[in-house]
Amino acid sequence: MLGVVMHAPGDVRVEEREDPKIQYPTDAVIRVAAACICGSDLWPYRGADDVHDAPMGHEYVGVVEEVGDEVRNVKPGDFVVGSFFASDNTCEICRAGYQSRCVHAEPMGALGTQAQRARVPLADGTLVATPGMPDADLVPSLLAASDVLGTGWFGAVAAEAGPGKTVAVVGDGAVGLHAVLAAKQLGAERIVIFSRHADRQRLAAEFGATDVIAERGDEGVAKLKDLTGGLGAHSVVEAVGTQESMMQAIRATRPGGHVGYVGVAHDVALPGGELFFSGVHLHGGPAPVRRFLPELIQLIWDRTIDPGKVFDRTLPLADAAEGYRAMDERRAIKVLLTV
Amino acid sequence: MLGVVMHAPGDVRVEEREDPKIQYPTDAVIRVAAACICGSDLWPYRGADDVHDAPMGHEYVGVVEEVGDEVRNVKPGDFVVGSFFASDNTCEICRAGYQSRCVHAEPMGALGTQAQRARVPLADGTLVATPGMPDADLVPSLLAASDVLGTGWFGAVAAEAGPGKTVAVVGDGAVGLHAVLAAKQLGAERIVIFSRHADRQRLAAEFGATDVIAERGDEGVAKLKDLTGGLGAHSVVEAVGTQESMMQAIRATRPGGHVGYVGVAHDVALPGGELFFSGVHLHGGPAPVRRFLPELIQLIWDRTIDPGKVFDRTLPLADAAEGYRAMDERRAIKVLLTV
């Protein structure tokens, strides 16, 4: 089969890879219908993470082709959505809603879903079947649920977005934009996006943002305080993962407020004294997307939300290298790969 | 009047200070009945915080002597307990339960309550009157409510201690011991104290600890994981404030669990990547003791809890210097100063 391999930073190729097979009785093999390129794939692409000949991709939707003997919840022919971590969904950590830290968690990124087929471990716990075969126009949104929507949603939940709250979002990539969408669905009163890109500002407004702040860092924080009686936001979602964005998120939050951080932290060190006196709640990490999948699939199926709008470029799998380039150069917010 | 002044690290003297007066119509002046020395007073005593000729003390109980024209909730003759931050208790931050970050907050430490009298700003919001004049044996417990009990309690609340939970406490000083007491009152199923001091272990057991771990750092974390099916505690209270204790607390917490940190952070830098993948909730800071005072005073008044047991040394105010030495040298857990 064909699949994407990153041989080194900047060196992405679509090439022949071995067809996945059932290895454990809890596995499924799916025929990928669509995959995509994640903001986090840009870390190794830009050399910030080590990478050598790695199969790429951890977001996926597709049709089940084959299941192992112990799989009960999905069957060949089902259209399924899964998270970027395989999880058993039965251990104590999963039951508490932290499936991305399941005691048996396996990162799908190691298997590589930017490919024609993929093996999904722990299929019963990992995959959620849609109510039927989706219309083609729903596929991008279902794919978004697999990671960026689920991650933005978790950021908003971790930040305790809700009625009466002012929610601010640091980061206007796909995850940040979906955090806006989530905050809106969760009933937030006011939603502020930090962004200086007109196309992203427009999409944020479509998703429910009420205010835009173009300034970054402490200047951005000062603008947000102007909007909130000097106090800061109740809830701030951090969706970048740098030192600057984390500090901006913490400083933008009022004492007792909540920071939900979902940007994969790179070279971040939080100063203990400032954090202590900030009095904020801090929660985040790799999103337990599986927790939210049934609800998100239903919202998409009912056409209540349209998260697939973040895909502003669609390419065939064979052109994945151009997809990486477009995202790296910010010519695209998020690239969908048809398979 | 007499009051404690720290002239430099290690140089504590009891000397004549100017009598406090009503300066604002929202002030009260109290005659201090008892004050005490805080673990945080040891930071400047040991040279870790700057100090020059500073009046000391931020914990206090006493009798109201005089109130300003706008004070309505307390009157001369009332026995009162207050927090280490004065707060208006009416602003948006106070109403959300974060009185230590009140928009008008004033640190009582700057006024110095290790003294015969003290001015209390924002008296209506800061002071809570007891139901009557307390029996002498209740005074230590009421004094504890002013900071160490309220702080340990906040740590346990921030860590979401509750029924069915395993709670671990890092730090066996007065605050850590009170976090044990709080976890017990909040209904925790299992309470683990990290301690290697026999006297503190005994008091922890009296307060409700079910298990003791003598090891520290990653060894302590490994022992805790042995006790919790490899997962870590649901709730961990950090009551020290060092890099080692913070990392121990984070690592002792299961994914999705809660760290409540109340040790004043000194030279702490939290590694973003490890924090991200830990998946814990982190909340803490200067405890909003005022939030809990009415409940804590009632529990003490009803003799349901006896937090005053942490005072293992009582000295007259005049001997404050010996009190500092005893705590610095760990000859005392916590020193009460009678005034």
Structural domain that includes position A165: 150-284
* ipTM, 2 dp: 0.95
Q: What pLDDT score does A96 carry?
A: 98
CB B128 within 8 A of CB B82: yes
Is A272 within 8 Å of B265 when comparing Cβ atoms? yes
Chain mean pLDDT for chain A? 97
Contact A283 B282 (CB under 8 A): yes
Q: How many domains does chain A have?
A: 2
Question: What is the model's pLDDT at position B45?
Answer: 97
- HSE of B212 in the Cβ direction (CA atoms, 13 Å)? 16
Residues B9 and B118 in one domain: yes
Q: A256 with B283: CB under 8 angstroms?
A: no
Same domain membership, residue A264 and residue A180: yes
Residues A224 and A318 in one domain: no
pLDDT bin (cut points 50, 70, 90) of residue B255 is very high
Residues A13 and A136 in one domain: yes
Please indicate, yes or no, whether residues A212 and A124 belong to a single structural domain of this protein: no
B164–chain A Cβ distance below 8 A for any pair? no
Q: Kindly state whether B105 is in contact with chain A, defined as any CB-CB distance less than 8 angstroms.
A: no
**CA separation for the pair B286, A275 (Å, rounded):** 11
Same domain, B179 and B274: yes
Measured in angstroms, the CA of A182 and the nearest CA of chain B are apart by 20
Once rounded to an integer, what is the mean pLDDT over residues A42-65? 95
**Least Cα separation, residue B166 to chain A (angstroms):** 13
For chain A, percent of residues with pLDDT exceeding 90: 97
Whether residues B316 and B250 fall in one domain? no
Spatial distance between the Cα atoms of A201 and B89, rounded to a whole number of angstroms: 38
Q: With an 8 Å Cβ cutoff, is B271 touching chain A?
A: yes
- 3-class SS at B78? coil
Q: Are residues B162 and B215 in the same domain?
A: yes
When the pLDDT of each residue in chain B is averaged and rounded to a whole number, the result is: 97
Q: How far apart are CA B156 and CA B175, in angstroms?
A: 10
Question: The domain that contains B10 carries what CATH number?
Answer: 3.90.180.10
Cβ separation B243–A285 shorter than 8 A: no
Q: Read off the pLDDT band of A13 (50, 70, 90).
A: very high
**Among B84, B95, B104, B268, which would you mutate to test the A interface (most chain A Cβ atoms within 10 Å of its Cβ)?**
B268
Q: What is the pLDDT of residues B2-13, one digit of tens each?
A: 999 999 999 999
Summarised one tens digit per residue, pLDDT across range B276-291 is: 999 999 999 999 999 9
CA distance B103 to A241: 30
Q: Given pLDDT bands bounded at 50, 70 and 90, which one contains residue A321?
A: very high
Judgement on whether residues B164 and B270 belong to the same structural domain of the protein? yes
Quick one: B216 and B253 in the same domain? Answer: yes
A218: domain CATH number is: 3.40.50.720
Residue B117 confidence (pLDDT): 98
Nearest CA in chain A to B241: A272
Give which of A43, A154, A275, A280 to mutate to test B binding, by max B Cβ within 10 Å. Answer: A275
- Which residues is A253 bridged to in the sheet? A233
Q: What is the pLDDT of residues B124-142, one digit of tens each?
A: 999 999 999 999 999 999 9
Kindly state whether residues A10 and A135 are assigned to the same domain: yes
Task: Answer yes or no: do A14 and A143 share one domain.
Answer: yes
Taking an 8 Å cut-off on Cβ atoms, the answer to whether B270 and A267 are in contact is no
pLDDT tens readout for residues A91-124: 999 999 999 999 999 999 999 999 999 999 999 9
| Three-state secondary structure readout of chain A | CEEEEEEECCEEEEEECCCCCCCCCCCEEEEEEEEECCHHHHHHHCCCCCCCCEECCCCEEEEEEEECCCCCCCCCCCEEEECCEECCCCCHHHHCCCHHHCCCCEEHHHCCCCECEEEECCHHHHEEECCCCCCHHHHHHHHHHCCHHHHHHHHHHHCCCCECCEEEEECCCHHHHHHHHHHHHCCECEEEEECCCHHHHHHHHHHCCCEEECCCHHHHHHHHHHHCCCCCEEEEEECCCCHHHHHHHHHHEEEEEEEEECCCCCCCEEEHHHHHHHCCEEEECCCCHHHHHHHHHHHHHCCCCCHHHHEEEEEEHHHHHHHHHHHHCCCCCEEEEEC
The candidate with the shortest Cα–Cα distance to B81, out of B63, B69, B68, is B63
Interchain proximity A286–B269, CB inside 8 Å: no
Nearest to B278 among A268, A278, A285 (CB): A285
Interface of A with B in 33-92 (CB under 8 A): 92
Taking residues A192-210, what's their average pLDDT? 97
